[in-house]
Structure 1
């Protein structure tokens, strides 16, 4: 049986420490350089040298103020604040690389689709088609205190809004401009054939967007669509829209259950279930020997911040863990935050009872995904095992320290994966979508809902 090719993203955020609160104190960690474009360019070059498929950049609007019902712990611990805009990093990194893809997180709750469509098309042009969009609906209620969203923040309604949001974007990206609208005819002094540029006339429940897209068609038109919602509503949304999904869970069983349901959701939407590439969150800590790897992990663990970890998990789950004794067991509570966090904790393995202290130690390095500790051979073995047992396609690699975790992986584990024929030795040419799905597949496939908006001009003529 032929082995699956493994896909790899680095997982980062334009902030300090990202998923490993407390480890910014480590003498080798450079996340404090997040403000410097030189840091991001160096990171992109490390990742491209390691043949990573992409850099997946997380983002949040708001702060983690659930823990202690206050911002003080989050601000003191630099728990994803200060946090800068992710999209502004990409032009410089793209200019310094040739193949690396970039996944940008942006929220359908806080970004209006009309200017957002222009921003992503601009980036797709500047990167020659190397961008993806991580579709999030946002979960921090602290963000809504600063941007008025009314009653749109309720969990299930957020996905209804996101569904219409995508409809607006498909109309703009896929339908507003015909492929040959731009003629650049200097003799006739015509840059664009206006008959081939169409107003989208969208008047929906949540958005009114009547006009044309402001950009000519970019290499991919629609960026590669990522999605990270693992709740039931999120999986249904992903089955309809996502090309790649990102899941974080504690064990293989939880990941396998997610993948199985997700692929079924894709089938229900008339798609090939294997068209969705699933990345799961892991943090690799690698050494040339078992002893070296274990010593590295134990050293990193000394820097875990108990309060910093719980301020993150409180924000993700909507539960104030400062009210719990460290040895108290955790039970499921319905919230408006990331419902899958508590579902994984309390429902995936009914025999596993988590205490607050265990949760803090688990999330303290790499967030809500497992930490793999070992030699390059052991890490590669574990990757193969997860691919075989869960039907995922690849991994989002969080870091303990940056760029050290990514550098170690590139130098030690990537050659082992390549030796086993599991990972590319050279990049394919083309856009990010072509690198993921094959040459000539720069645009959304015909079985994707977004492709139905391509002949918008013809549809408008027929309906008029």
Structure 2
């Protein structure tokens, strides 16, 4: 009998008050308004490591949600991912109080410069001993583009073209500038770095130009673990070339299976293997010792949720002002320049009127929610893994830190008893923990072409 696949789990979070389940910051047990303190994040990191989470996946957005009703008023009142602070500045503190927890952190390509960003990544990968992942995003809100001095968001596919160029330059810096063995730290000869083993890279791309050496010595992973969340046609091609972890939204395991097969085929088309990517679905879990207690907890959560705030968030994701539609008027999803897959998924789920969307957002979001005792929740998680052909989940917070504590206390032991969850961390970097094939990208990845051959 073949060994059952272990389920990978990241805690899905954001450096803000309201992330996915809008309105829940008003719950009396929720501590998300403490997001401005280091103690909030270091305590959370310890909780996640005790629960053997693979990592914390920290979302981010450059800009704010001003599509719904044409203003930002409801976004501000309901704290819908605004205010939002820099996620990267949290990592050093959380890494200092943990040994194994990984960090998948979001950065928007259009808001960064590859030359300095590459140094930031190398620095954090060094300080965390190889536990850094980068969630590559291309941006999706006009407000962010305007804030960066642009007239508006660039065309959808053009944003991926820019990301391709950004990554190629970054690969040259991370993989090709410093040879293995360049740093010898020889005190007697007064040689820290051997100059003949450090090389200037040359890049003249359609969006970026750089002729320089990488400022940082190689980190344990060189290139961070690469995450990505776009599943449009162009997004799938980008993921097939670059991504190691892919975050999908799917209404059910059948839809997850269809998306997973397309993504794995995209990796094969790029000269990689289907198993070179880990696919994660977004999920919410409301567990308790008994089914009745879980339903009571769920009802309690519902009483604090904001359906309209969920609609504000979704309006930004699609670029569509739903406030202009009557409750039962059909919604036209066809002209989105934001997250194309968001509108497509909504159509496929039959969410074609504002009334239907508001019903879907009864917990403040469109995420699938599993409610039940540990056995029921584990059954459903296994169904998603096996039928959906995915590898794991981004577990979004409902009430902080209760969501993660409940999962660690109730669900992890149940999954461990079934042989579906690790009982200890694998040693090594985040990439080694996830794939078990070494600290750095395999030779079949696009980044490998920029590596310098070993010295004879």
Q: What TM-score does the superposition give when structure 2 sets the normalisation length?
A: 0.97
Once the two structures are superposed, the pairs formed by residues 162-181 of structure 1 within 5 Å of their partners are: 162-181=163-182
Asked if 1 retains the 8 angstrom alpha-carbon contact of 2:175 and 2:450, the reply is: yes
The residue correspondences of 1:352-431 to structure 2 (distance < 5 A) are 352-365=350-363, 367-431=365-429
1:215-236 Cα deviation digits (max 9, x unpaired): 0000000000000111111111
1:199 is the counterpart of 2:200: yes
Q: Could you list the per-position Cα deviations for residues 311-360 of structure 1 after superposition, in whole angstroms to 9, with x for gaps in the alignment? A: 100011100011122333434222110000110111x35xx354323323
**Do the aligned residues in 2 keep the contact of 1:129 with 1:218 (CA within 8 Å)?**
yes
The superposition leaves residues 390-423 of structure 1 with CA deviations (integer Å, 9 ceiling, x where unpaired) of 1100000001111111110110000000000000
1:452 aligns to 2:453 (yes or no): no
1:180, CA displacement in angstroms?
0.8
CA drift of 1:456 comes to 7.7
Contact preservation (8 Å) 1:250, 1:370? yes
User: Helix, strand or coil: the match of 2:371?
Assistant: strand
SS at match of 1:221: coil
Helix, strand or coil at the partner of 1:201 = strand
Cα distance in structure 2, aligned partners of 1:360 and 1:337: 20
Q: Deviations over 1:118-165 (max 9, x none)?
A: 001000000000010000001011011111346772100000110011
Counterpart CA distance in 2 for 1:151 and 1:285 is 39
Partner of 2:281: 280
**CA deviation string 1:248-300 (max 9, x = no partner):** 22222222111010011011011111110001000001111111111111111
Deviation at 1:309, TM superposition (A): 1.0
Alignment correspondent of 2:236: 235
When residues 457 and 320 of structure 1 are mapped into structure 2, their CA distance, relative to the original with a 3 A threshold, is farther
Is 1:267 the equivalent of 2:264? no
**Which ranges in structure 1 are unaligned for 5 or more consecutive residues?**
459-464
Q: Would the alpha carbon gap of residues 255 and 273 (structure 1) be closer, same or farther in structure 2, given more than 3 Å must change?
A: same
User: How far 1:100 sits from its partner (Å)?
Assistant: 0.4
Structure 2 distance, partners of 1:255, 1:400, is 22
Match of 2:299 in 1: 298
The aligned counterpart of 2:93 is: 92
Q: Per the alignment, in what secondary structure is the counterpart of residue 35 of structure 1? A: coil
Q: Is the Cα contact below 8 Å between 1:6 and 1:422 reproduced in 2?
A: yes
Superposed, which structure 2 residues align to 1:79-158 within 5 Å? 79-149=80-150, 153-158=154-159
Question: In structure 2, what is the equivalent of residue 441 of structure 1?
Answer: 438
Q: CA deviation at 1:367?
A: 3.2
Aligned length: 454
Match of 1:461 in 2: none
Supply the distance in 2 between the matched residues of 1:360 and 1:306 (Cα, whole angstroms): 6
Task: Give the superposition deviation at 1:3.
Answer: 1.7
- Tell me the secondary structure at the aligned position of residue 103 of structure 1: strand
Contact 2:52 2:425 in 1 (8 A): yes
Aligned-residue CA RMSD (Å): 1.5
* Contact 2:307–2:361 (Cα < 8 Å) also in 1: no
TM-score (norm 1): 0.95
Taking the aligned partners of 2:383 and 2:449, their CA distance within structure 1 comes to 38
Q: CA deviation at 1:302?
A: 1.4
Aligned to 1:105, the other structure's residue is in SS state: strand
